[in-house]
A and B are shown apart, each in its own frame.
Chain A
Amino acid sequence: MRKSFPSLIIDSAILLLFAIVAYVFSFSDNFSIMELPDSFYHMNTIFLSILIEALPFILIGVLIAGFIQIFITEDQLKKWIPKNKYAAVFMSCVVGGLFPACECGIVPIVKRLIAKGVPIYAGIGFLLTGPLINPIVIFSTYMAFGNDFEMALLRMGAGFVIALLIGIIISFLFQTNQLQSHVTTGAICHAHSTNSSFLEKAGKTLLHAVDEFFDMGKYLIIGAFLASFVQVYVSTNMLVSIGDGHVTSLIVMMGLAYLLSLCSEADAFIGASFSNVFPKSSILGFLIYGPMIDLKNTLMMLSVFRTKFVFTFVGIVTFTVFIVISLLQGFN
């Protein structure tokens, strides 16, 4: 088999790297003698478990982002999105609801969409409903609350309304795309690569995914680390003891949702375990707020959007969820 010189070099470099990395891993057992407090090992385990669980979703997210970058043009997107602000927000929330995603995998996708000219309010609608409303989340919520559809329906319904409200508020407050400047230029510098073969495009999609992974990965890692720190060192019992009234318990549950940074598919079970401690509305706050925004996802957004926008956004989401849930509470 004859191979060209360059591919021979690349292949041998691949093999060499494999050998080196495998060699490094072979040392790993020798290190475990280190004496550290138990809690440290627990934190490390929880940290790695969040990462291992989130990485496949992130990778799928950066691949879709790479695909959007290379295969979908600004013009196509412009055609699909309604001119009317409200219609655009509504459509993005519906599309988000149909699109199964988790709250970290969706950030690179939204980043690409907005860089491609999707208005910020439409991007936000998609970002909010993507992780919150999808079949897996509905099913796990249904199961977690004793095969009862009430909580699952409330979660979807109230969540959808809240996402619409937030999208509309954002559409009044922000006109520009709010991306950090390097993100936008990134989109422009790629624009000239539109007329190449499919294979070339596929390769570019993958390379783009690599860049995206290195852009986003660090924020996911910091977020996962902080979340694991909270899980090991901050006592939930203490938090819970703060909240007995309707208002304080809702604040506690939303704070918990933010800090724990659970995946929207798994948080229903945790939420359900608080059922006998807190009123239903607080649990609903936990279930709606968590998928929309949490610690790990805030950090990822900071890598994409302007800092001021991210903080305003977190404020708006917190406020809207709080108000809507409190109103629902009033009706019960």
Chain B
Amino acid sequence: MKINGQQLLRATILLFFTIFIFRLHVSGDILKLINPKYETLSQLGASLFLLLFLIQMHRVFTFGGKNEHHHHEEGDGHHHDHGDQPINLKKSVSYIIIFFPVATGILLPLASLDASIAKNKGSTLAITGQAVSESEESSQEEQQLSDDDVNQIDPNVYKNKITKDEYDQLLTDIFQQSRIDMNETLFSTYYQQIMQNPEQLQGTKVTLSGFVYREEDFSPQQFVMGRFLITHCVADASLIGFMMEFDQAVNIEDDTWLEVTGTIQLTEYQGSQLPIVQIENMETIIEPDQPYVYPINIVMVE
């Protein structure tokens, strides 16, 4: 009986991937990486790794000269790599590269995205990119506001399943409510609705939580409060949130999580009406276990 070292190495790497992904699911860390909607798909991926590992194990051993695996008899010297050839430097490098993500996954804890990422992401442009603070006239309404996107980042996709009817109902109900509670499930839906209909919703109370984010040119009373919307995985995260205004300077550091109740106000900026939230009450909260929000999942019923 012979053991083929390189086949064993391949099998071991496959097993590392299998356990790595399953472990992410068991510990719940997977939510720091992908939208829960894709959990099943990722589990399928892990199962495929397991299957490939089990199959690969049959190539590791050679018993009494009878080869279990495919061999090249033809001596043309140009082989496509089945892991039979001896390890050289180039192959060691490729195995190291393939193992690299598992290693960083074991060694480094997963972080959640924060204001420093928001700063780097183009998505924040939508809310903050062109915010210009005006001269400090104490009347709050005259503050210049950010050039908020009016109909982008449509959040009405996926995650928590609702039917199209329920969804339409949600969108109309918002106008009857005296206070909009932007909980995690509906955060993106309400966000979009407020951005699209700031006039009708002017004066409505709103409660939301999120982290604080500022650009250099904000006035001391201003900041953005928002959350990351994850469509697939954290690589496609975009910040959604509102410009906040308080009647005195706010001394809160970036990345602090707040729960705020305020009133939706309108500001005109470059000819378009933009909603801001005039803060009435705010308190610091600890970062929620699930800091991200997801688009809502509409079930298309026939």
User: Which residues of A are found within 8 Å of B117, using beta-carbon distances?
Assistant: 42, 231-232
* C-alpha gap A53/B119 in the complex (Å): 24
Asked if B162 CB lies within 8 Å of chain A CBs, one says no
A206 to B58 CA separation, bound complex (whole angstroms): 11
Cβ of B249 under 8 Å from chain A: no
Chain B: interface residue total (CB-CB under 8 A): 96
Chain B residues with Cβ under 8 A from A235's Cβ? 119-120
Complex: A199 Cα to B55 Cα, angstroms: 13
Give bound CA distance, A98 to B190, whole Å: 35
Task: Tell whether A269 pairs with B52 under 8 Å between CB atoms, given A48-B105, A277-B125.
Answer: no
Point out the residues of chain B lying under 8 angstroms from A214, CB to CB.
10, 81, 83, 94, 98
Cβ of B157 under 8 Å from chain A: yes
Given A52-B33, A56-B48; A211-B83 close (CB under 8 Å): yes
A210 touches B14 (CB 8 A): yes
Do A210 and B10 have beta carbons less than 8 Å apart? yes
A-contacting 9-mer, from B37-45, B206-214, B219-227, B279-287: B37-45
The interface stretch among B19-27, B177-185, B197-205 is B19-27
A34 and B42: CB pair below 8 A?
Answer: no
Contact A266 B236 (CB under 8 A): yes
Main secondary structure of the interface of B (DSSP, over half): helix
Q: Is B254 an interface residue (CB 8 A)?
A: no
- Interface size class for chain A? 35 or more
Q: A42-B117, A228-B235 are in contact. List 18 more A-B contacts (CB 8 A).
A: A10-B61, A21-B15, A41-B109, A45-B113, A49-B34, A49-B233, A52-B45, A53-B38, A143-B295, A146-B192, A207-B56, A211-B80, A217-B98, A221-B98, A237-B124, A266-B233, A270-B236, A270-B238
Q: Which A residues contact B (CB, under 8 angstroms)?
A: 5-6, 9-10, 13-14, 17-18, 20-22, 24-25, 27-28, 31-32, 34, 36, 38-42, 44-53, 55-56, 59-60, 63, 139-140, 143-147, 181-183, 185-187, 189-190, 193, 203-204, 206-207, 209-211, 213-215, 217-218, 221-222, 224-225, 227-228, 231-237, 239-240, 256, 260, 262-263, 265-267, 269-270, 272-277
